Structure 1
């Protein structure tokens, strides 16, 4: 096939950037919005995150099922970008709206808007992740495009550093109004990016559902997974990596505000962290030409663990000194992990003859969301267990809890991630052997 045009490459990347403008906003600020502005307890918020992920276990495979049976003149995956663009923006705004309701009704509202956002986000993300297989057959080209996409996501995510100031500016001293209007800004930009993605991307490779796939049974899917060790390992890696990411992201503002008493540097902290992640992603793109992505990923996990160790120092300067190193490691992991997905699915097709791209990617999305759920549940319940009090000086007990959720859990997860990734069998050499065979 011909090389992707610059317009198509940018359009494809904007699809992910647009989704992450609302999703990253929620990842960083939704927990503290719920506890300190919306008015529900950390345990209630954590339970909500858990229930939403249980529903995702049902919803995501359904989305994958329909994606695998879609065949339109605009392609198999692209139509969903157009369908989900506006609902993602509207539900994003609704999540950060405080309704004038009683406590019980407000909690119901939180469930409806958060779970609703997750459903329309899946309608966008499952086909979007799968769509890269319809853009290029070249594994290395796909990996590099994913790296560029990840770098752009991180660059735009760096603007999250300005959210607290934007909330103050737009809210005029009312954080409820400020959060809602700030999300309106981000959701609107995300919507425009999704529109650009839809208009600029063309599916060059037909990844159509064949007769065999249309008749695929649950038993066949189980058999497919049983023969696809690389994909099973990726399920574990996506669960752990994004679980760790959500824990460190949602706990970061509590860490700086209460443990280090340095809330004012939060914007600088976010910018530094994200720019270093971007640099790590871009550097990983160069490294894949010389080193196998598997070992780049392992090195990234070990490097990322240095930040969690620095939490225990209790010293702000020591902690900040390790942020660039750990963020670089996160960039290595983000830069290569998405490139593993089409390789593992292609490996499964070669081994079994089943071409279940949508189901495979929906399962990746499901395990990612399960990790995200754990990343939200752990801080929520930790704050509840250690008696967190919103907008107040915290007790020594609570500070210990914040240290555990920012240090103990992430460190344990990253060590496990490095061990699991070491067992990933699908090196570039192995992939070529399988495809040639």
Structure 2
């Protein structure tokens, strides 16, 4: 008689805390920073656009570089709680501290303020690395089934969309309400403290509910050997490029929207309305369309392809006709965002594909290293989306606060970075997806995964 393994069931508590940790209030903090932080630095603190671009480039580049370090460290961490779980305890505390620091106006002059925010932003980004790499790594360690992994990724995508909707659309209103409630002039501070406290609940819940079951025992070989064995697989390069492009496209969506409405349309009074349209489009994308696309198109790669093609058509319309009518702008922006936002979640499927591929070809569990490579690629995309618009604006003569008085070159840059650049990143993704190495080994990888046993009852690593 055939010996069938019991069907894997989804742990609801784990799924909830996994989805609400990185993608919960920590994501809302990221959404607020992505949408409003650059304008805070230029319009409130008084830094120049080019100096902010330099700050973003340095800090985000370092953030990308330290991701592989964190992945290697996480894969070799030895504690009685496991490799990845211990990092979920201190990370939200540091997150709260740095999030509060970023919304100050220290009054140290141009140079002093620049160094203050460089240090604070690097600290924030290193904290994000501290929890993101282990969070991505613990999913394939806790869940073996592709279908269940995709469900958890889908839950996280939904949480991301909700947090981005609230953070991008209502942050200013919430900030003002909390400022009045607590009698403080800077409402960002109580908002960051509340979000940080809630992030502690979700990360500590993930620590309590996660198990590292499907990873090999910690090896004696040096950790640099794992990195070499992974990097020799040049066929994984398309994954890296896709991760960079997806991050750039998603980041530009939020990093340029406020600038677009304030200066390209010259309607700062419509910022909250437009950001609500963008955020609701992202919400529909993650909560409604993502599971439909995965069900209809069967694989993450096919769903990603359809998403890129359809959203690029909308972006082309917006590039040429977006400023003709605000209702037209909002309707087509909503459709484009609903079709495009899922891309940032769909590329997470490729992380699990890469982990399985390395385990199939090399026989090693390198969840942290693969997650860190994805993190490195994502941060490189963030570097571009955070700094390139400001760098270009600085070159063409952008003047902070000059609503309705920007030159033609500035207006072109704003329009291109908002709607033209995502078309280019999408076309690059489509090209790279043609070389996915997992496709031809799919059946063999599924057979390998069916033979992986549960290590949760093994002795704890010490």
- The match for 1:436 among 435, 447, 458 is 447
Distance 1:38 1:182, change over 3 A: farther
Q: Indicate the larger mover: 102-111 or 53-62.
A: 53-62
2: distance between equivalents of 1:70 and 1:54?
25
Question: Number of aligned pairs?
Answer: 431
CA RMSD of aligned residues (A): 2.3
What does residue 402 of structure 2 align with? 392
How many angstroms does 1:127 deviate by? 0.6
What does residue 3 of structure 2 align with? none
2: distance between equivalents of 1:252 and 1:57?
24
2: distance between equivalents of 1:15 and 1:168?
26
Q: Indicate the larger mover: 161-170 or 354-363.
A: 161-170
1: distance between equivalents of 2:54 and 2:70?
24
What TM-score, normalized by structure 1, do the two folds share?
0.91
How many angstroms does 1:365 deviate by? 0.4
Q: Indicate the larger mover: 201-210 or 391-400.
A: 201-210
How many angstroms does 1:170 deviate by? 4.1
What does residue 268 of structure 1 align with? 273
What does residue 300 of structure 1 align with? 307
What does residue 57 of structure 2 align with? 50
1: distance between equivalents of 2:345 and 2:291?
7
What does residue 198 of structure 2 align with? 189
Report matched runs for 1:73-222 at 5 Å. Answer: 73-160=80-167, 161-171=169-179, 177-199=186-208, 201-211=209-219, 214-218=221-225, 221-222=227-228
Matched, 1:22 2:34: no
Distance 1:319 1:175, change over 3 A: farther
How many angstroms does 1:179 deviate by? 3.3
2: distance between equivalents of 1:180 and 1:391?
24
1: distance between equivalents of 2:343 and 2:367?
23
Distance 1:190 1:395, change over 3 A: same
- The match for 1:10 among 6, 13, 16 is 16
Distance 1:372 1:175, change over 3 A: farther
2: distance between equivalents of 1:432 and 1:318?
46
2: distance between equivalents of 1:176 and 1:39?
18
Distance 1:64 1:204, change over 3 A: closer
Distance 1:258 1:360, change over 3 A: same
How many angstroms does 1:206 deviate by? 4.4
1:137 is paired with a residue whose SS is coil
Q: Indicate the larger mover: 103-112 or 349-358.
A: 349-358
What does residue 233 of structure 2 align with? 227
2: distance between equivalents of 1:436 and 1:245?
35
1:97 is paired with a residue whose SS is coil
1:288 is paired with a residue whose SS is helix
| Structure 1 unmatched ranges of 5 or more | none
1:306–1:322 Cα contact (<8 Å) kept: no
2: distance between equivalents of 1:54 and 1:266?
29
1: distance between equivalents of 2:223 and 2:14?
32
What does residue 418 of structure 2 align with? 406
How many angstroms does 1:416 deviate by? 1.6
Distance 1:128 1:258, change over 3 A: same
Q: Indicate the larger mover: 372-381 or 54-63.
A: 54-63
| Structure 2 unmatched ranges of 5 or more | 1-6, 449-462
Distance 1:70 1:39, change over 3 A: same
How many angstroms does 1:307 deviate by? 4.3
Q: Indicate the larger mover: 97-106 or 264-273.
A: 264-273
Matched, 1:72 2:79: yes
2: distance between equivalents of 1:346 and 1:319?
42
Report matched runs for 1:271-350 at 5 Å. Answer: 271-281=276-286, 282-291=288-297, 292-309=299-316, 310-313=318-321, 314-315=323-324, 316-350=326-360
How many angstroms does 1:364 deviate by? 0.7
2: distance between equivalents of 1:271 and 1:141?
31
1:37–1:176 Cα contact (<8 Å) kept: no
1:306–1:325 Cα contact (<8 Å) kept: no
What TM-score, normalized by structure 2, do the two folds share?
0.87
How many angstroms does 1:405 deviate by? 1.9
How many angstroms does 1:57 deviate by? 4.2
2: distance between equivalents of 1:352 and 1:176?
57
Distance 1:134 1:266, change over 3 A: same
Distance 1:242 1:175, change over 3 A: farther
1: distance between equivalents of 2:64 and 2:272?
35
1: distance between equivalents of 2:234 and 2:356?
10
2: distance between equivalents of 1:383 and 1:345?
40
2: distance between equivalents of 1:210 and 1:193?
27
Distance 1:246 1:254, change over 3 A: same
Q: Indicate the larger mover: 341-350 or 393-402.
A: 393-402
1: distance between equivalents of 2:109 and 2:273?
37
How many angstroms does 1:297 deviate by? 0.2
